[in-house]
Amino acid sequence: MSRVGKNPVKVPAGVTIEVAGKRVIAKGKLGELSSEFGDDVAIVREGDAVVVKPTSESLHARRMWGTVRANIRNMIEGVTTGYNRSLQINGVGFRAAIQGKDLVLQLGYSHEVRYLIPAGIKIACPEQTQIAISGSDRRLVGQVAANIRGFRPPEPYKGKGIKYAEETVRRKEGKKK
């Protein structure tokens, strides 16, 4: 029995949830999110909560039970409060700036790296060495942060590169003479 899946998802005031077959649509003050789930789970709206139940006792249905419930909870939280991710840039001459709909990164390469900001995502650079990513879709916010970090991941000797704000880079000792 899924410990996560058996708990109903509370729907706060100001959020509307529509369940149409396998499709769930969440609307709130930060926008609208929709997702379609498989046939392994049944999604039912009961009062001010959404209940997820497996349709069979198969292993895959029980696995998807908690996953679908967590995804619905993430959708509801996304349209109410949203998600944020912060990145830090370390390195001499490394910096970031917003130009139109692009994030322009100077990362020590011979060229600047341009990243087109996807729809539904807001990126701000409060300082040249900080990037703040926010949006209502948790997966998209995390994927954008991972894509930006992937342009220059932090290296272990001097710590240069792009890292998550809460990440600690394990440092290695350099060569000794």
Domain boundaries, the chain: 9-80, 83-164
Mean pLDDT of 147-169: 95
Given this chain, do its domains 9-80 and 83-164 carry the same CATH topology?
yes
Looking at the domain covering 83-164, what would its CATH class be? alpha beta
Mean pLDDT of 17-36: 92
Mean pLDDT of 102-123: 96
Q: Classify domain 9-80 at the CATH topology level.
A: Outer Surface Protein A; domain 3 (3.90.930)
A 10 A CB-CB count for 167 gives 11
Structure tokens at 23: 């499709």
A 10 A CB-CB count for 10 gives 12
pLDDT score recorded for residue 2: 65
Going by C-alpha positions, the residue among 38, 41, 49 that lies closest to residue 2 is 41
pLDDT score recorded for residue 5: 82
Cα three-residue angle 146-38-30, rounded to 5 degrees: 50
Residue 43 reports pLDDT greater than 80: yes
Residue 6 reports pLDDT greater than 90: no
Residue 1 reports pLDDT greater than 80: no
Q: Is 86 helix (H, G, I), strand (E, B) or coil?
A: strand
Mean pLDDT of 62-89: 94
Mean pLDDT of 30-53: 91
Of the chain, the end-to-end C-alpha distance in Å amounts to 59
For the chain, the average pLDDT equals 93
174 burial type by CB count under 10 A (0-12 exposed, 13-18 middle, 19+ buried): exposed
